[in-house]
C-alpha cells in the first residue's frame, strides 16, 4: 500500500477530471474532497470512491456539464433541481446556500431532487461548522437495506450528518441507518477482515461479522434494529417531500441516480454553544476513554498531512490508468 502526500493525490485527481471535461472549479472541489476524506481516514468515500465517479460520468449517470438550479424559494427554504450534476458539486453549493440563508434568517434549508452520490457527507458538515453554523444534512438512497425482521431490501440506509463548531475539531456525526455503511463493508470484505460486531445476516439469515457474506445476501442490519428502520423511513419521506423528488420506492440501481437530499443550517449563539460543548465533552471524556464525534477523523487528518495518506495499490493503479 503506497503512502502518498496530499498534494500528489489531489493534483492527480484534479488532472484526470480536467482531462475528462470537468470545469476547473468542479474538478478542484471534487479532487480536494476526495483527498480530504482519505486524509481523514475514510478512504471508501475518498480516493477509493473516485474511480466510481469517473465511471458513472462516462455512463451518463452524472452530467459533468449540468448546473443545479433553484426551482422555488419559500422563505428560508429553497427547492433545487440537481439536474444530475456531480453530487459533491451540488452538495457543496447547497451547503453554502443553506449557510447563507441561515446567516440572513437564523435558519436556512435547501432541498434537492435529481442529484446523486455525494461521497462523504461529513465533509459538508465540517464545512458549515467551520463557518460557525450548526448543520444537518441527509440523503435517501436506492433500496439497499431490509427493514427490521425483513429479508430483502425495502429501505435505503439514508446517511445523515449533524455538525456544529468545536475546538480543536468541529463536532461531526456522519452515520448511515445501517449498522455499517456499504463503504465500510466493502473495505472489510476486500481485506478479509471481520467486522467488530455483526453488521447483517448471511444467506441463511444468521447474524454475521463476515462483510462479504452480508454483501452477497444484501441483508444489512438496520442500526438499532427497529429504530434504524423507523429513522430510515422518515428521512426518506422527508427528503422526497421537501425536495419534490423521488422516494426510495421510486429509485433503482445501479448507483445513486436521482436521489433526494436536504441541507439545513442554523445560526448559533457561539458563547452558549461553547459552554454547552465544553460541559458535554468534559463529561464524555471524564473516564479517560471517550471523545466527541469528529475528534478522531480530525486527528487522523492532521497526522496524515504530515506523514502521507495510504492508498490501496490496486486503487491507485486504476486511478493512474485513468
pLDDT tens for each residue of 125-165:
999 999 999 999 999 999 999 999 999 999 999 999 999 99
Mean pLDDT of 186-212: 95
| Amino acid 252: pLDDT | 76
Task: State the catalytic residue, choosing from 45, 84, 188, 298.
Answer: 45
Instruction: Give the number of C-alpha atoms closer than 13 A to the C-alpha of residue 52, restricted to the C-beta side.
Output: 18
Look at residue 162 in the predicted model and tell me its pLDDT.
98
Query: Please, which residues have CB within 8 angstroms of residue 59's CB and are 6 or more apart in sequence?
Result: none
Residue 110's φ and ψ, nearest 5 degrees, are -130, 125
- Give residue 253's pLDDT: 67
Residue written as grid cell 466527541: 292
CB atoms within 10 A of CB 111: 26
- Hey, is 279 helix, strand or coil? helix
**20: Cβ–Cβ under 8 A, 6 or more apart, which residues?**
54, 57, 58, 64
Residue 309 · residue 4 · CB < 8 Å: yes
Cell numbers placing 58: 462516462
Q: Where are the beta strands (DSSP E) in the chain?
A: 3-4, 69-74, 77-81, 107-116, 134-139, 160-164, 171-175, 200-201, 207-208, 219-220, 257-266, 309-310
Condensed to tens digits (0 to 9), the pLDDT of residues 7-58 reads 999 999 999 999 999 999 999 999 999 999 999 999 999 999 999 999 999 9
Report the distance separating Cα 257 and Cα 85, nearest Å.
10
Domain covering 3-178+222-273+314-321 in this structure, CATH number: 3.30.1370.60
d(CA 316, CA 12): 10
Instruction: Give the residue extent of every domain in the chain.
Output: 3-178+222-273+314-321, 179-221
Which letter does DSSP use for residue 178 in this model?
B
Q: If you average pLDDT over residues 187-216, what whole number do you get?
A: 95
Picking from 102, 122, 109, 155, the residue whose alpha carbon sits closest to that of residue 46 is 122
Domain 179-221 superfamily per CATH: Hypothetical oxidoreductase yiak; domain 3 (3.30.60.50)
Does the pLDDT of residue 1 top 90, yes or no? no
**What is d(CA 270, CA 36) in angstroms, rounded to the nearest whole number?**
26
Fold agreement between 3-178+222-273+314-321 and 179-221: no
Query: What's residue 65's pLDDT?
Result: 96
Q: Given this model, what pLDDT does residue 29 score?
A: 98
Question: What is the side-by-side order of every strand in the sheet holding 207-208?
Answer: 207-208, 200-201, 219-220
- pLDDT of residue 183 exceeding 90: no
Between CA 80 and CA 101 the distance in angstroms is 14
Identify whether the C-beta of residue 182 lies closer than 8 Å to the C-beta of residue 199. no
pLDDT digits (tens, 9 = 90+) for 48-96: 999 999 999 999 999 999 999 999 999 999 999 999 999 999 999 999 9
Does 45 participate in catalysis according to the annotation?
yes
Residue owning grid cell 481516514? 41
Average per-residue pLDDT in the chain? 96
DSSP codes, 125-177: HHHHHHTT-EEEEEE--SS-BPPTT-SS--B----EEEEE--SSS-EEEEE-S
User: Integer distance in angstroms from the first to the last C-alpha of the chain?
Assistant: 19
Query: How much is the pLDDT for 289?
Result: 82
Phi then psi dihedrals of residue 172, to 5 deg: -140, 115
pLDDT of residue 216: 96
Query: How many other C-beta atoms lie within 10 A of the C-beta of residue 171?
Result: 23
> How far, CA to CA in Å, does 307 sit from each of 39, 40, 138, 320?
10, 13, 33, 22
Amino acid at each position: 500500500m503506497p503512502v502518498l502526500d496530499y498534494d500528489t493525490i489531489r493534483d492527480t485527481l484534479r488532472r484526470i477530471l480536467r482531462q475528462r471535461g470537468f470545469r476547473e472549479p468542479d474538478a478542484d472541489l471534487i479532487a480536494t474532497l476526495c483527498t480530504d476524506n482519505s486524509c481523514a481516514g475514510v478512504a471508501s468515500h475518498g480516493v477509493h470512491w473516485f474511480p466510481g465517479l469517473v465511471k458513472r460520468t462516462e455512463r451518463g449517470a452524472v452530467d459533468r456539464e449540468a448546473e443545479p438550479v433553484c426551482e422555488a424559494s419559500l422563505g428560508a427554504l429553497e427547492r433545487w433541481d440537481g439536474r444530475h450534476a456531480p453530487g459533491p458539486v451540488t452538495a457543496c453549493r447547497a451547503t453554502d446556500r443553506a449557510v447563507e440563508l441561515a446567516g440572513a434568517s437564523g435558519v436556512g434549508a435547501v432541498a434537492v431532487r435529481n442529484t446523486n452520490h455525494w461521497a462523504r457527507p461529513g465533509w459538508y458538515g465540517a464545512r458549515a461548522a467551520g463557518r460557525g453554523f450548526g448543520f444537518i444534512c441527509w440523503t435517501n438512497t436506492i433500496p439497499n437495506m431490509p427493514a427490521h425482521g425483513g429479508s430483502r431490501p425495502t429501505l435505503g440506509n439514508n446517511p445523515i450528518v449533524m455538525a456544529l463548531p468545536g475546538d480543536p475539531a468541529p463536532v461531526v456525526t456522519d452515520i448511515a441507518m445501517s449498522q455499517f455503511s456499504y463503504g465500510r463493508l466493502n473495505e472489510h470484505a476486500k481485506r478479509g477482515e471481520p467486522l467488530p460486531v455483526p453488521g447483517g445476516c448471511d444467506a441463511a439469515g444468521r447474524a454475521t461479522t463476515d462483510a462479504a457474506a452480508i454483501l452477497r445476501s444484501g441483508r444489512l442490519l438496520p442500526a438499532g434494529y427497529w429504530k434504524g428502520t423507523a429513522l430510515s423511513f422518515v428521512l426518506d419521506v422527508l427528503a422526497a417531500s421537501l425536495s419534490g423528488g423521488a422516494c426510495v420506492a421510486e429509485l433503482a440501481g445501479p448507483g445513486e441516480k436521482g436521489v433526494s437530499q436536504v441541507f439545513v443550517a442554523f445560526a448559533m449563539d457561539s458563547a452558549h454553544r461553547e459552554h454547552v460543548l465544553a460541559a458535554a465533552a468534559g463529561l464524555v471524556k471524564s473516564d479517560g476513554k471517550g471523545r466527541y464525534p469528529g475528534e478522531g477523523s480530525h486527528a487522523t487528518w492532521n497526522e496524515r498531512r504530515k506523514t502521507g495518506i495510504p492508498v490501496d495499490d490496486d486503487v491507485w493503479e486504476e486511478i493512474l490508468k485513468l
